[in-house]
Structure 1
Amino acid sequence: MNSNNPFFKSKAFNNTSRADEAVHQATVIDYNDTMSVSGTINKSFIMLLLLIASAAITWMMTFNGYNPIVLTIGGAIVGFVLVLISVFKPQYSPYLAPGYAVFEGLFIGGISAIFEVMYPGIVIQAVSCTFVTFIVCFGLYKYGVVKVNERFRSVVVAATLAIATYYLISWLLSMFTSFVPVHHGNSLISIGISVFVIVIAALNLFLDFDQIEKGAEQKLPKYMEWFGAMGLMITLVWLYIEFLRLLSKISSRD
């Protein structure tokens, strides 16, 4: 049950079960105080609205002539810090998850505005692609077309770790040397890499869906709904950014 998502890989989904062996069998469990799929979905929508609202701030700043770089970079850093805190302290997710949505929204809004200035119309295309990908993956999972087993999970996790390692090494080399990563530019190889990364990001959605469902079945604490919603939002943000990168490469070849 290990998802690649930094949230779902944490011990929270493995050690927070309400089914404590020390609890007497006669104990009545309040199911209104446990994690549910519907509750996680509702909180995901709340986070999405917060993200869109904060993204509008840096978006409007850009098109009103202001430089949003401070808020954009600051939002990314603070969002990452909130993710790390939540991994180790999932019980604080009801407070950290909304905060993540707000600060990550500042980052998304700034990045989106930059791409939109360079390639008009690219943002609506990336949003549409992300939305369609999510709906398709959700439908395939819901109706059992794609089943998450150990082999599926292992392949997706391994591929995602490989991507993360490649990105990290490429970034470090480009920072301190004249190395130009292969995925930069608009070559066919670069476009192919972006397509591959998008496929892996989409496959991570299946792991996220499965982990949320398993968490609800285990009757995890109610705050894990925020934890699950935050993890799902991380995957969607990653998917959206990768679509922006792919579409920009394709547009630059025209």
Structure 2
Amino acid sequence: MKFESKNPFLGSKAFNNTSKNADETLVLQQETMTVSGAINKSFILLLMLLTTACITWWLAFNGYNPLVLTIGGAIVGLILVLIAAFKPHTSPWVAPGYALFEGLFIGGISAYFEASYPGIVIQAVSCTFITFIICFALYKYKIVKVTERFKSIVVAATLAILTYYLLSWILSFFITFEAVHHGNSLMSIGISVFVIVIAALNLFLDFDEIEKGAEKQMPKYMEWFSAMGLMITLVWLYVEFLRLLSKLSSRD
């Protein structure tokens, strides 16, 4: 990922421009997306998510039932994701809202898994962080290149997974069955590993979106949109690590 400054005064030709051209370049910089801006907003969203996650976590381990906040956070978070998907220009306020409500969900399910499998949360956090660092390094040093074919394969696999999860959830209301991804069978564990791989590959799409968005000088609000996309992928990856680790622990 390129961390290049777009400050007009850093280039040798900038000093030869007229005052008007310099002002126009500075305004353009302020109104368009940058890599550093997207990264900064990603950190802001992460801090907001962790803050509200502490609320449901604290409630769960102090005798209170955070179920309402956990489910409510997931529902509102999903609604905000849909709003941002159809109206990206709303991202400056939708993205922070998503982080706050999704934090309630993350804190609640983390407390649930931790109560059942002590130590699982720190393991899942570590796995998510390590995966992020590895994927970032692979992207930055061009070991993995995001081509159109790469994008189409990852998007198709992601949609297939989401469709499968959605159908399994809907069918559970009408018929009694145990979906193949439930339980701790080798098949279930294999599916979790596959889903984690696809979630990790989505990180490359997020990195590419941020870099390409800056290169194309997309509107400033796309920094929030891209940061929100990265946060969605990290949340998905973390939840899948929780599920996988819980399956492995239950087999002991």
> Common fold, TM-score beyond 0.5?
yes
Question: Aligned residue for 1:220?
Answer: 218
What is the one-letter code of the residue matched to 2:53?
A
**Partner residue of 2:196 out of 195, 198, 204:** 198
Identity of aligned residues (%): 76
- Kindly provide the CA deviation profile for residues 12-62 of structure 1, in whole angstroms up to 9, marking residues without a partner as x: xxxxxxxxxxxxxx8934212210111100000000000000000000000
* Structure possessing the higher relative contact order (Cα contacts under 8 Å, 6 or more residues apart): 1
What is the one-letter code of the residue matched to 1:48?
L
Question: Aligned residue for 1:111?
Answer: 109
Aligned equivalents of 1:78 and 1:245: distance in 2? 22
Output aligned runs, 1:171-190, within 5 Å.
171-190=169-188
- Kindly provide the CA deviation profile for residues 197-242 of structure 1, in whole angstroms up to 9, marking residues without a partner as x: 0000000000111111111001011111001100110000000000
Question: Aligned residue for 2:233?
Answer: 235
3-state SS of 1:28 partner: helix
User: How far is the alpha carbon of 1:119 from its aligned partner?
Assistant: 0.2
Aligned equivalents of 2:241 and 2:173: distance in 1? 24
Question: Aligned residue for 1:159?
Answer: 157
2:71 equivalent to 1:73: yes
Aligned equivalents of 1:158 and 1:86: distance in 2? 21
What is the one-letter code of the residue matched to 1:210?
D
3-state SS of 1:153 partner: helix
What is the one-letter code of the residue matched to 1:93?
S
2:24 equivalent to 1:28: yes
Aligned equivalents of 1:28 and 1:176: distance in 2? 61
Aligned equivalents of 1:152 and 1:85: distance in 2? 27
Aligned equivalents of 1:148 and 1:214: distance in 2? 11
What is the one-letter code of the residue matched to 2:206?
D
3-state SS of 1:175 partner: coil
**Partner residue of 2:55 out of 54, 57, 67:** 57
User: How far is the alpha carbon of 1:88 from its aligned partner?
Assistant: 2.0
2:140 equivalent to 1:148: no
Paired residues, number: 229
Identify which range, 36-45 or 80-89, moves more after superposition. Answer: 80-89
Q: Who wins on radius of gyration, i.e. which is larger?
A: 2
Question: Aligned residue for 2:94?
Answer: 96
User: How far is the alpha carbon of 1:157 from its aligned partner?
Assistant: 1.1
Question: Aligned residue for 1:23?
Answer: none
What is the one-letter code of the residue matched to 2:141?
Y
Question: Aligned residue for 2:82?
Answer: 84
Structure 1 runs, 4 residues or longer, greater than 3 Å off: 26-29
What is the one-letter code of the residue matched to 1:35?
M
3-state SS of 1:176 partner: coil
Normalising by the residue count of structure 1, what TM-score does the alignment of the two structures yield?
0.88
Aligned equivalents of 1:28 and 1:214: distance in 2? 22
- Kindly provide the CA deviation profile for residues 176-210 of structure 1, in whole angstroms up to 9, marking residues without a partner as x: 10121000000000000000000000000001111
- Kindly provide the CA deviation profile for residues 93-150 of structure 1, in whole angstroms up to 9, marking residues without a partner as x: 1111111100000000000000000000000000000000000000000000000001
Output aligned runs, 1:41-52, within 5 Å.
41-52=39-50
**Partner residue of 2:250 out of 224, 249, 252:** 252
Normalising by the residue count of structure 2, what TM-score does the alignment of the two structures yield?
0.89
